[in-house]
Structure formats: structure tokens, C-alpha cells
């Protein structure tokens, strides 16, 4: 899963703006995303490459390939992607930067996630810093391994606690979440039998830590429209993930 995500995220370059419903309706887009178009982003409505929304779209496509996803009802698929793709994306890009020994989240090319003109707006400094450093904090503190990251990501994706899921959807996700949690516990115990259970709990808390990202992104995008560009384009997957559907 992660190798595919990294490969596609480095290559994706599309102007499409699907909703999560549209992503569920579509067949796999992975092959298309791996054939990037040449786009001069400054001439588009977005004005800059939307690394955030593109990353969420890649996560959604990777999840669509998973066996458990194919067992879900259509409505459950939409709810799942809407509730886990954004969070999984932020964990993934934080781990990417952690592996590169960086202290903040960067793009796959090693560049800043946001344009320089936005980074220079003093009133946005705090929210931008929060967005790019908060996901890194627990990874740096715990020195999370690749296996721990991979399993934690699957535990977050297989979330049976999503509101309005069908009972069948809850059962499917619960079963898989339990499997991944047991595997993560085994790894923690193998590393240190004494501290294994407590390390498991610390790793699982990373999921709650990442819940802040949607609120931070919501605040940041509102500030961008107020302080940078009143017509700042906000992709549908970000609107749906961060409670911004009311914005035009």
C-alpha cells in the first residue's frame, strides 16, 4: 500500500476536483494518476499545485484497492473515504518527512507544501506551523518504525466508529481493525515485552492527535481567503474533510 501511495503521490498532476461520492463511483484512477499531465498551475483556477487534496485523492484510490473496501455497501464506501482519507494522508506525509529526517511536513520533492507568498503572511505563520509540525511531533517523540506506521495507518483506516455506517460496515471494519491492532501489539511486545502494551497505547493516541489537522486546515483555509486571496480555490475533498462544504 505505502509503496504505491508514495510512487503515485510523487507523480500525480491532475486538475480534476472530484467529491468523495464521485471517487467511489469511478473505477480506479491509479493508472491515470501515474501518467501525469504537464500543467502550469499558475494559469489554473487553483494558482498552485494542490498537494494536500491530491494526496487525499491518492489515499482514497489506494483504499479502493483493498479487499475489505470491496465488501462494503456503496454508502459505507463514501462515508469511509470521507472520514479516513484526509487523516491517513496527514499521517503518511508526516511519516515521509520523518523518514527524510525533517522537522516539518514537506512535499514529495522536498519543497514547502505552501507557496512562499502565503508563508510570508505573518498572521498565517502560527496556523501554517501547526499544520506542518503537529503531525510530526508524536512520530519524532516515539521514533515510530515503518511497520508501526503501516499498521497504525490501517487501524485508522478501518474505523468502525464512523457515524452512520451500516451494521455490516461496522462489523467488517471492526474485524479488520482488530486484526491490525493485534499485529501492532505483537510488534510492540517483540521489541520490549515490558513496555509493549504502553507503547501500543501511545501509538494509538497518534490517531487522536491527528484529529486536530481537520480543524487546523479549516482555520488555515478561511485565513487564506481573508488575508491572501478571497477566491482561494478549495478542492471538494478538503471541503468535505474539514467541514467547509458551505463555502462556494
pLDDT for 40 equals: 86
CB crowding 216-238: b at 16 or more within 10 Å, else e:
bbbbbbbbbeeeeeeebbbbbbb
The three cell numbers of residue 187 are 510488534
Give DSSP secondary structure letters for 21-57: HHHHHS---HHHHTSPPP--GGGSSS-S--HHHHHHH
Q: Is residue 246 part of a domain?
A: no
pLDDT for 169 equals: 98
pLDDT for 157 equals: 98
Q: Tell me the pTM.
A: 0.94
Q: Is residue 248 part of a domain?
A: no
Q: Is residue 163 part of a domain?
A: yes
Q: For residue 111, which phi and psi values (nearest 5 degrees)? A: -95, 170
pLDDT for 1 equals: 80
177: domain CATH number is 1.10.565.10
d(CA 100, CA 202): 22
pLDDT for 232 equals: 87
Q: Is residue 175 part of a domain?
A: yes
* Domain of 220, in residue numbers: 2-241
pLDDT for 164 equals: 98
Q: Is residue 247 part of a domain?
A: no
d(CA 149, CA 34): 24
Q: How many domains does the chain have?
A: 1
pLDDT by 10s per residue, the chain, length 248:
889 999 999 999 999 999 999 999 999 999 999 987 889 888 887 778 899 999 999 999 999 999 999 999 999 999 999 999 999 999 999 999 999 999 899 998 888 888 888 888 999 999 999 999 999 999 999 999 999 999 999 999 999 999 999 999 999 999 999 999 999 999 999 999 999 999 999 999 999 899 999 999 999 999 999 998 898 889 999 999 999 988 87
pLDDT for 148 equals: 98
Q: Is residue 195 part of a domain?
A: yes
Amino acid at each position: 500500500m505505502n509503496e504505491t501511495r508514495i510512487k503515485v503521490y510523487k507523480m500525480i498532476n491532475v486538475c480534476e476536483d472530484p467529491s468523495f461520492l464521485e471517487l467511489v463511483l469511478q473505477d480506479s484512477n491509479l493508472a491515470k494518476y501515474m501518467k501525469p499531465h504537464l500543467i502550469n498551475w499558475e494559469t489554473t483556477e487553483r494558482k498552485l499545485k494542490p498537494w494536500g487534496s491530491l494526496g487525499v485523492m491518492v489515499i482514497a484510490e489506494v483504499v479502493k484497492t483493498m479487499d475489505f473496501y470491496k465488501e462494503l455497501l456503496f454508502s459505507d464506501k463514501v462515508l469511509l473515504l470521507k472520514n479516513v482519507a484526509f487523516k491517513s494522508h496527514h499521517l503518511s506525509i508526516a511519516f515521509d518527512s520523518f523518514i527524510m529526517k525533517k522537522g516539518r511536513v514537506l512535499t514529495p520533492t522536498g519543497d514547502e507544501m505552501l507557496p512562499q507568498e502565503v508563508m510570508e503572511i505573518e498572521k498565517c505563520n502560527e496556523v501554517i506551523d501547526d499544520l506542518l509540525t503537529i503531525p510530526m511531533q508524536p512520530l519524532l517523540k516515539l521514533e515510530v518504525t515503518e511497520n508501526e506506521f503501516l499498521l497504525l495507518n490501517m487501524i485508522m483506516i478501518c474505523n468502525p466508529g464512523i457515524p452512520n455506517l451500516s451494521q455490516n460496515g461496522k462489523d467488517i471494519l471492526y474485524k479488520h481493525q482488530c486484526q491490525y491492532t493485534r499485529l501492532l501489539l505483537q510488534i510492540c511486545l517483540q521489541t520490549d515485552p515490558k513496555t509493549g502494551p504502553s507503547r501500543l497505547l501511545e501509538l494509538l493516541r497518534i490517531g487522536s492527535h491527528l484529529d486536530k489537522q481537520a480543524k487546523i486546515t479549516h482555520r488555515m483555509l478561511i485565513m487564506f481567503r481573508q488575508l491572501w486571496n478571497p477566491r482561494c480555490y478549495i478542492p471538494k475533498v478538503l471541503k468535505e474533510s474539514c467541514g467547509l462544504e458551505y463555502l462556494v
